[in-house]
Structure 1
Amino acid sequence: MATVFLVGAGPGDPGLLTLRAKEIIEQCDVMIYDYLANRDFLKWCKPECEILYVGKKGGDHTLPQDKINELIIEKARSGRSICRLKGGDPYVFGRGGEEAEELVEAGIDFEVVPGITAGVAAPAYAGIPVTHRDHTTSVCFITGHEDPTKEKSGHNWEVYGKSTSTLVFYMGVKNLPMIADNLMNNGRAGDTPVALVRWGTRCTQESMLSTLENVAADAAERGFKAPSIIIVGGVCSLHDKLNWFEKKPLLGKGVVVTRAREQASGLVATLRGHGACVHEFPTISVEHLDDYNEVETAILQLARYQWLVFTSVNGVKFFWEQLAEIGLDSRILGGLQVAAIGPATADALRDRGINPDFIPEKYVAEHVVEGLLKLGIQGQSVLIPRALKAREVLPDALREAGCDVHVLPVYETRLAKSDVDEVREAMNKGEIGYVTFTSSSTVHNFFKLLPAEELKQHPEVKIASIGPITTKTVHEYGFTVDVEPEDYTIPGLVAELLKAAK
């Protein structure tokens, strides 16, 4: 029998997941996850991992708790390692204690991985410290939804009402009128500040501030629903002053990222850092070639070239892979001049010990040609490691200038197998604000996966393009581009999105 890991997934922000939790997610054989656990974490599961959803929300139970217990034990007895992923912390209103008891009775080893609980994280993201010298020296975590089969309530409303502690109620929105009345009937003043935070720490977070006597009516008027945390106490008065998260410029705005998954992490992280709800929808997969004989031959004949021109980070990556494959390294480039099409490609070269001799002012092939001609490349031998299929502007222009050009495919791009239904559903719900394109290939492949006519049914969705070549491709499908940076880079694209959001 294998170990069962009761893992706290934290409140939802991927950055708040612990390193130990991520390690277990990556290694587990079976993933059993809850409604409040961020589904983005599932992408870290290994391909052969069995993934099972057992979420519960508002009375809608995929599986009742006793059946969840049985499922965990059944899977563990099959000899596989189990990750039981639970929102927040498994031992803070997560029923992790009950599951652990069942595992002990079944004789199954288990490990608990604590997570950041929403009762601390959600208030913090809404500008509310649960303790503060000027307001309170203690905090009390309380369930707002007790087990309905209990004969007697576990709540001591008299203590809660007279306490000066910050009170944090979990799962209590439906019972908000009862909670407020019980607190006021037991001594809490009606003007006590109260805050609600819904989907705390996530890009969809929203919060509201009220008072104990008005909060039930205010929450109903605003349509505040679960999952929400209720905070009662003087610390809530700091909400407006310290509310840093909800000031993020892209908060709540859905942004589709179409880059290849291998390249998207930087863009995804930056967008999330600005509050965006990122929908990863890679339209390109970057693949190895079936045969690298031509690449090996070209590498062994590098001495015949004067210039080595890289047009992408992937070109650098796959070229160096082949260098290593045949037992060589950057030293073989001695005597060659090296060009990079843009700063990201230049950084990839620097990471490998090569400082580019040339980077154009604008990061498209046309400007590369213009700059290289000024450097006197005419008539010289040029090697261009790149994708199997790419624009021919650069090699054709260099040939016209009398260069001996050898285009060397070192990788190929293919249509990615992405789940279009997730993006389609988000569009139908009005949750997508922007679709970002970072190359002509991402445009072509996006519309292979989601027909152009379907996107035209959503005029509220804006298109962000990294530069004029990509924009031209967007126009071919009958769309206008709403966002295009002057600096044709990922940082430039993000900066322009931030301007548009303002």
Structure 2
Amino acid sequence: MDGHAAGEVWLVGAGPGDPGLLTVRGRDLLATADVIVVDRLALAVLDGAPLDGAPPDGASPECAPSAQIIHVGKSATAPSWSQERINALLVERARAGARVVRLKGGDPYVLGRGGEEAEACAAAGVRCTVVPGVTSALAVPALAGIPVTHRDVAQEIAIISGHLAPGHPDSTVDWPGLAASRATLVILMGVARLIAITEALLDGGRPEATPVAVIERGGTAAQRVLRTTLDGLAVDAIAAGVRSPAVIVIGEVAARNDAAVPTAPAAGARPAVASRPLVGVRVLVARTRARPGLLARRLRALGADAVETVVARPAPAGGDDAAAALLTALDGVNAILLADPDEVAALVSLLRSAGTDVRALAGRTLVAAGPSAREALDSLGLASVPRTHLRAQLNAEPRPLGPPTVLAVAGAEPDLGPAEHAWSVRRLTLLTDVAAEPDPRIAEELRHGDFDVAAFASSTAVRGTAELYGPLPPDLLVAAMGRRSAQACEAAGIRVDIVPAEPGVHPLAAAVADFVTASRDPLN
């Protein structure tokens, strides 16, 4: 842990939703964390681009660090951790020596209860550092083209929590004072209290014709903006089906649209479909690894709001038979191909189960199929070569006992190509898939019909989704990467709407885009 005798806590603001708006300092801390405690509204940062930069086209994505990610919810309608439990968790993990990142939506100190978490750490003697974030109260209106202050019409701003209704005994908000002012009102967490908020402001003297903008899912590809007036706010929001998270802007500036780029489509409007045909489309991407995947990244490049969820996790194959099979497979092997950190961890685990350790790999070339596998091997002090160098490496070494043998414990092909010798490829499965825990956020949004498409890149992802979440909504479009995933859907009772002509991440994303485009075209 970089020499730290005791752990630390960082309260990191994740920004308003777009992973690109995470601060550089926040990105650096996520890349070195042991534990990440994350809110629902901050998940886009972990689901988005890899923390250490995008790899070249066609390469495996750089994985997030092997940190434990703990989801604490913070949703009004789904199970969430209590604030006291979160405080205790931060203190407990830091005292155990962990580098803990508490990842919070927006800015930790703007209606995010970050102050309470910092106080809990201070009371426990745990070092806590705040890393400010881009608050959604200011950024989301800006992304919708709304300046929250303007020299001609608004020279002050009030940021308000709508979590408690006006008149609630625990509320400290001066609603009559806000109603009488000319300040721009920016209300967070107010969707569930729209009627009460509207009545309080009208009763306090705000004109009925005061412009209002409601920005839903600001900072994401699914952003949409409802523009109305104060007297029509509640009715129009209900008619448009506005859901949390949303930022409510009340004041003259809400009628402005000064953005240099077009805002996201308003409620009910047809999204733009030029180079980003999936703008406004929300896609559920089921994963079988904890690392962000290429499919979600490609869907986001096409404009989709791609939400990744882990439905199965790899675990080392268990039992004495698996350990014995590994030792047998290693006999006479010249090189071992490993796909990712999970393969590396499984190899080490099985060697230990067999009563040995990494010294059993001596004399063999370790081959990393991608950067993440190379980093995992480096962390163990084991040298490796890229997969593309394997053939040259083996051909450069004399083989008096016969042709070289490669043990492929990964799904990746050895990529040996033409060789001076005959090659032998031995295959061994080190991992098995185990079910993940269901995510209350995903279950809630499936129930409410918040997804337009579910995309499956493997049969394991299909089976895991069916096991965790049961029958999918009947109007949800389902995309399967290939024949096996389509067959798994059929076996699970899931209707398949989209299958690309050839398997692959890019063909699957393109097939989804083509289907959506054709569905939007009135001539089809």
- What's the offset of the Cα at 1:210? 1.0
Residue 207 (structure 2) aligned to one of 167, 189, 195: 189
- Distance in 1, matches of 2:35 and 2:336, equals 46
What amino acid maps onto 1:63 in structure 2?
S
Is 1:419 matched up with 2:436? yes
What amino acid maps onto 1:501 in structure 2?
V
Residue 57 (structure 1) aligned to one of 76, 84, 97: 76
- What's the offset of the Cα at 1:418? 4.3
- Provide, for residues 332-362 of structure 1, a one-character-per-residue CA deviation record: whole Å limited to 9, x for no partner: 85799xxxxxxxxxxxxxxxxxxxxxxxxxx
**Which residue is 2:352 aligned to?**
none
- What's the offset of the Cα at 1:48? 5.8
Partner-residue secondary structure (3-state), 1:169: strand
**Which residue is 1:296 aligned to?**
334
5+ long unaligned stretches in structure 2: 1-5, 48-62, 318-325, 338-367, 395-402, 414-420, 518-524
Identity of aligned residues (%): 28
**Which residue is 1:4 aligned to?**
9
CA 1:492–1:428 in 2, change beyond 3 Å: closer, same or farther?
same
**Which residue is 1:20 aligned to?**
25
What amino acid maps onto 2:264 in structure 1?
W
- Distance in 2, matches of 1:315 and 1:407, equals 22
- What's the offset of the Cα at 1:115? 1.6
- Distance in 2, matches of 1:59 and 1:294, equals 54
Partner-residue secondary structure (3-state), 1:217: helix
Contact 2:481 2:505 in 1 (8 A): yes
**Which residue is 2:186 aligned to?**
168
What amino acid maps onto 2:194 in structure 1?
L
- Distance in 1, matches of 2:263 and 2:65, equals 34
Is 1:408 matched up with 2:425? yes
- Distance in 1, matches of 2:371 and 2:309, equals 24
- Distance in 1, matches of 2:515 and 2:310, equals 22
What amino acid maps onto 2:219 in structure 1?
T
- Distance in 2, matches of 1:108 and 1:450, equals 39
- Provide, for residues 270-315 of structure 1, a one-character-per-residue CA deviation record: whole Å limited to 9, x for no partner: 223422333344768599976556552799xxxxxxxxxxxxx959
What amino acid maps onto 1:214 in structure 2?
G
- Distance in 2, matches of 1:463 and 1:145, equals 36
**Which residue is 1:398 aligned to?**
none
- What's the offset of the Cα at 1:119? 0.9
What amino acid maps onto 2:433 in structure 1?
A
- Distance in 2, matches of 1:499 and 1:270, equals 14
Residue 217 (structure 1) aligned to one of 235, 247, 252: 235
**Which residue is 2:130 aligned to?**
112
- What's the offset of the Cα at 1:112? 0.5
- Distance in 2, matches of 1:144 and 1:424, equals 25
CA 1:113–1:487 in 2, change beyond 3 Å: closer, same or farther?
same
Normalising to structure 1: TM-score of the pair?
Answer: 0.63
Residue 270 (structure 1) aligned to one of 282, 295, 298: 298
- What's the offset of the Cα at 1:111? 0.8
- Distance in 2, matches of 1:492 and 1:250, equals 18
Of stretches 195-204 and 178-187 in structure 1, the one that deviates more from structure 2 is: 178-187
Partner-residue secondary structure (3-state), 1:120: helix
Contact 1:31 1:83 in 2 (8 A): yes
5+ long unaligned stretches in structure 1: 300-312, 337-380, 392-403
- What's the offset of the Cα at 1:93? 1.6
- Distance in 2, matches of 1:463 and 1:151, equals 45
- What's the offset of the Cα at 1:230? 1.1
CA 1:413–1:199 in 2, change beyond 3 Å: closer, same or farther?
farther
- What's the offset of the Cα at 1:211? 0.3
- Distance in 1, matches of 2:31 and 2:228, equals 42
Contact 2:36 2:68 in 1 (8 A): no
Is 1:464 matched up with 2:479? yes
- What's the offset of the Cα at 1:474? 7.0
Contact 1:162 1:186 in 2 (8 A): no
Q: CA RMSD in A?
A: 5.4
CA 1:245–1:261 in 2, change beyond 3 Å: closer, same or farther?
farther
- Distance in 2, matches of 1:419 and 1:284, equals 6
- Distance in 1, matches of 2:170 and 2:371, equals 64
- What's the offset of the Cα at 1:138? 5.1
Partner-residue secondary structure (3-state), 1:85: strand
- Provide, for residues 228-270 of structure 1, a one-character-per-residue CA deviation record: whole Å limited to 9, x for no partner: 32101333334698323774625343333457666x6222222
Is 1:251 matched up with 2:280? yes
Contact 2:221 2:280 in 1 (8 A): yes
CA 1:204–1:501 in 2, change beyond 3 Å: closer, same or farther?
same
CA 1:150–1:462 in 2, change beyond 3 Å: closer, same or farther?
closer
Matches within 5 A, 1:22-37: 22-25=27-30, 27-28=32-33, 31-34=36-39, 36-37=41-42
Contact 1:30 1:80 in 2 (8 A): yes
- Distance in 1, matches of 2:120 and 2:212, equals 38
Matches within 5 A, 1:358-377: none
CA 1:489–1:72 in 2, change beyond 3 Å: closer, same or farther?
closer
Partner-residue secondary structure (3-state), 1:416: strand
- What's the offset of the Cα at 1:494? 1.3
CA 1:185–1:329 in 2, change beyond 3 Å: closer, same or farther?
closer
Partner-residue secondary structure (3-state), 1:213: helix
- Distance in 2, matches of 1:60 and 1:257, equals 21
Residue 512 (structure 2) aligned to one of 489, 494, 497: 497
Contact 2:409 2:429 in 1 (8 A): yes
- Distance in 2, matches of 1:88 and 1:111, equals 16
**Which residue is 1:198 aligned to?**
216
Matches within 5 A, 1:60-71: 62-63=81-82
- Distance in 2, matches of 1:75 and 1:276, equals 33
CA 1:388–1:39 in 2, change beyond 3 Å: closer, same or farther?
closer
Matches within 5 A, 1:151-162: 153-154=173-174, 157=177, 161-162=180-181
- Distance in 1, matches of 2:89 and 2:466, equals 41
Partner-residue secondary structure (3-state), 1:130: coil
CA 1:467–1:90 in 2, change beyond 3 Å: closer, same or farther?
closer
CA 1:407–1:115 in 2, change beyond 3 Å: closer, same or farther?
same
- What's the offset of the Cα at 1:89? 1.0
CA 1:25–1:462 in 2, change beyond 3 Å: closer, same or farther?
same
- What's the offset of the Cα at 1:493? 2.2
Contact 1:196 1:207 in 2 (8 A): yes
- What's the offset of the Cα at 1:468? 6.6
Contact 1:123 1:130 in 2 (8 A): yes
- What's the offset of the Cα at 1:485? 3.6
